[in-house]
Amino acid sequence: MRSPHHSRLLTFLKPAIMTNVIRGKFRIYVDGCTVGMAFNSMYAAQTRPFWEAVRNGEIIVIVSDVLDRELQKAPPRARELVYGLPNRQIERVVSTDESDTLAEQYIAEGVVGETSLDDCKHIALATVNHADVFVSWNFKHIVNVNRIRGYNSVNMKLGYPQIEIRTPYEVIHDEIRLEQISDYS
């Protein structure tokens, strides 16, 4: 059964990405903030519908070795949120020389400082694995217009596609309906 949010799901995406949504292969990379904020009093109400959409089969989450390391330090309920998902809703990816080099390039280009290496690894993994969207609540280092421009500038300079970076709330609550953008594909 589809959630009431299904028809609004990720309708802000570029037309080329919409092909994946229409085919039902909707893939979203998640970081530790996306998991942790499901239990945060300020963000839970805006984050839980995202995880419901994952459980309902509307979204495939991309889980990386970087997220696995973050979850080792997280409370058990955060780990259960991810590891309790049906296997068909999870795509696993691991860091490679390619993704590590791209992450280091974000720092070399001054997008963020060296202390944000794991954030850069997340962005790089989402990029090299062609995620439809990267979701996070990390406004300081990730979901920030200047940072997004920086990550995408490096991506374009090195021949990678731009990456959509949004909050979980934006993914579920965009106002444009999916039917309205089917004209683009």
Distance CA 95, CA 100 (A): 7
Question: What pLDDT is stored for residue 26 in this prediction?
Answer: 81
Question: What integer is the mean pLDDT of 6-26?
Answer: 47
Q: How many residues does the chain have?
A: 185
Tell me phi and psi for residue 143, to 5 degrees: -85, 75
- The answer to whether residues 160 and 128 touch, using CB atoms and an 8 Å cutoff, is yes
Amino acid identity for residue 109 in this structure? E
Distance CA 102, CA 125 (A): 9
How many CB atoms are located within 10 Å of the residue 18 CB?
Answer: 19
Structure tokens at 39: 């239990």
Distance CA 159, CA 163 (A): 12
Question: pLDDT by residue (tens digit) across 28-80?
Answer: 999 999 999 999 999 999 999 999 999 999 899 999 999 999 999 999 999 99
CATH superfamily of 7-179: 5'-nuclease (3.40.50.1010)
How many CB atoms are located within 10 Å of the residue 36 CB?
Answer: 19
Q: What is the CA radius of gyration of the chain?
A: 16
Q: What would you measure as the largest C-alpha separation in the chain, in angstroms?
A: 46
Per-residue pLDDT for 116 more than 80? yes
- The answer to whether residues 151 and 123 touch, using CB atoms and an 8 Å cutoff, is yes
Question: What percentage of the chain reaches a pLDDT higher than 90?
Answer: 76
